[in-house]
Amino acid sequence: MATSRPAGVEAGGHTADDGLYGPDSVTWRVVAHPSIGLGGTAAAMVQMLYPPVMYVIDQASSVRENPELRAKRTGDYTATITFGDTATAENAGAMLRRLHSTRKAVGPDSGRPLRADDPALLEWVHNSLTWSMLRSFETYGPGLSPAERDRFVAEQRIAARLVGCDPDSVAQTAAELDAYMAAMEGKLALSEPCLWFRDMVSPGGLAVKPADAVKGLMTRAAIALMSPLHRDLYGFKQSRLGRRATVAATRALLAGATSKLPLEAAIPQVREYVDAHAFGARRRRAVVPDPVGAADPG
C-alpha cells in the first residue's frame, strides 16, 4: 500500500514497502498500541470456548508442551502481516495456511473429524480476534470513533484472506461483529482441555513479587474484556467495582508506557522486530560449533 511514510519509518529487509495496511490505516494504530497484548490474551481465551477450536489446538499443536512459544509465534504472525512489506505478509499468510492444512483432530464426544482450516473455525477465530483487539483498544487505549471502528473491522478482511477465510464471510462492520459474537454464545462451552487452558492462563495464587503482581493485573485486564457469558463459562468472578479498578489501573500503566514510547516511535521499533523475526521468513543461521535445529512450527 503506497502511503506517505511518517518520519522514522524506514524500509528494511522485510519492510521494503508499507505492506497490506500502511501508516494511514487504523490497524497500524491499534496493533502498535500496548493494549494489543491484552486483546490477544482475551482473544485466545474466547476462541478456546468454541470446542472444535479447542480440540484442534489441544490435539494438533504444541500448546501444552510450550505455550509461551506458541503465543510468541502468534504475536510474530500478527506483527508480520501488519507491519511487514507486501511480499513478507503474503508469505506469512501462505505459510500459516499450509500449517493449518496439516492440523487435524477428532471431537472426543462425536468422533467427528476436525480441521484447522475448516471455514467455520477460521471465521470464529478471525471474528473473535478482531472483536477482542477492538475492545482492548477502546478499553485501554485512546479509543476510536464509530467510523474508525467500522474501518478497523473492514481492514481486517485482509487478515481474513491471509488466514484462508472468504473475506466476504467475516464481519464487515462493528455492528456485524457484535451481532456475530452474540449469535455464537450459544455454541460455546468449557470443554475438558479448556479447563487446562484456563488454569494455564490464570493460575491464581498470591503475588509475592512485583512482576507477579503486574502479570496478575494483566490477566485480570484481559478477562475484563470478555463478555459476561465468557467469564461465567470460565468461572471467572469479577465484580463491577473490581473490573473498574482493574481497568483504571491498567489504563494508567499503559498510558505511562505510551508516554515513554509514543506511536511514532513504537512503529519503527516493531518494524525493526519484523525485519529480524518475520513469521515464515528464512533465518540467517550463525556458524556455531554445535548447531541446534529450529523448533517444529505448530
- Using CA atoms, how far apart are residues 126 and 290, in angstroms rounded to an integer? 41
Residue-wise pLDDT tens digits, 45-92: 999 999 999 999 999 998 999 999 999 999 999 999 999 999 999 999
In a domain, 63, yes or no: yes
In a domain, 5, yes or no: no
* pLDDT at residue 291, as a whole number: 31
pLDDT value at 2 more than 90: no
In a domain, 179, yes or no: yes
In a domain, 11, yes or no: no
In a domain, 138, yes or no: yes
- Using CA atoms, how far apart are residues 79 and 68, in angstroms rounded to an integer? 16
In a domain, 291, yes or no: no
- Using CA atoms, how far apart are residues 107 and 231, in angstroms rounded to an integer? 24
Please give the model's pTM, rounded to 2 decimal places: 0.89
- Our count of domains for the chain comes to 1
- Domain carrying residue 146: 26-277
CA distances from 178 to 9, 13, 90, 127, 288 (A): 34, 38, 28, 9, 52
- Using CA atoms, how far apart are residues 146 and 148, in angstroms rounded to an integer? 5
For the chain, the average pLDDT equals 90
